[in-house]
Amino acid sequence: MPGLLRENVATAKRIVVKVGSSSISGDNADQITPLVDALAEAYGRGTEVVLISSGAVATGMPFLNLDERPVDVATQQAAAAVGQNVLIFRYQDSLDRYGIAAGTVLLTEGDILKEPHRSNTRRALNRLLDLRILPVVNENDTVAVYGLRFGSNDRLAALASTLIDADLLIMLSDVDALYSKPPHLPGAVKLDFISHDDPLDSFEFSSSGATGVGTGGASTKVVAARLATAAGTAVLVTSTDLAAEAIRGEHVGTWFEPTPTAMRRALL
């Protein structure tokens, strides 16, 4: 079986949507409303939806009178503790318009990679979805330390997608798609479709975000996409302002084809 096809996105039973810090914090905090509109549309047609949301540190910074992302761990943790609370309030306030309840799930790497934490995390997420709760997942930045961190929420999203056997992972950022090189450079070409066996050797992907409030970049999305597609989850990379179009299955962003079932079994 080939896995989910691009034209069948609207039929996906379970999707994971990941949004980056810069898309829903600071001057872009108002993007939470249209993002929730898009999630609610999928929820309304019966799709199970998990939201992986960055932004705790960035959202907490103004409350600590910080203009730039702090460099010391303790202040990052303090900003995350404040920001996570505010971030979830903003999501729930918007979800209230649709009568949808959010459930906060904060994870460290060990919660997904190590037993019995892995099984417990899967059970908790599945139960939330069974109860028609919309899980809002983030790295537990307040307590996570080096060696127990995902590195980026792109990787967290990929691991979570494989953990719960999601049909589709949608990764949202400030850029409408992946490009053959950083999109501001001459000759950059938009990548529409990437097959499961494309080595991507001829492309140059940036390793850092554009705004300084997040920790991801195009390269982390490619690595995360490969991780998810190897387990059979299709991946779509696009911008947050195209979330509704992406969730409806419109032809936007960069589509990563999932590895076919037969090939996945051969790799086991």
Q: Is 13 known as a binding-site position?
A: no
Q: Where are the beta strands (DSSP E) in 14-67?
A: 14-19, 48-53
At 232, list the tokens. Answer: 């059979």
Q: Is 195 known as a binding-site position?
A: no
H or E element in which residue 113 lies: helix 110-113
3-class DSSP state for residue 155?
Answer: helix
Q: Is 54 known as a binding-site position?
A: yes
Cβ contact 180:204 at 8 Å: yes
Q: Is 165 known as a binding-site position?
A: no
How many angstroms separate the CA atoms of 234 and 258, rounded? 5
How many angstroms separate the CA atoms of 253 and 171, rounded? 10
Give CA angle at 157 (82, 191), nearest 5°: 120
Q: Is 174 known as a binding-site position?
A: yes
Q: Is 153 known as a binding-site position?
A: yes
16 phi, psi to nearest 5 deg: -115, 130
Q: How many CA atoms lie within 13 A of 133 on its CB side?
A: 13
How many angstroms separate the CA atoms of 207 and 66, rounded? 25
Label residues 39-59 b or e (16+ Cβ within 10 Å = b): bbbbbeeebbbbbbbbbbbbb
Binding residues for ATP: 18, 173-174
Binding residues: 18, 54, 141, 153, 173-174
Binding residues for substrate: 54, 141, 153
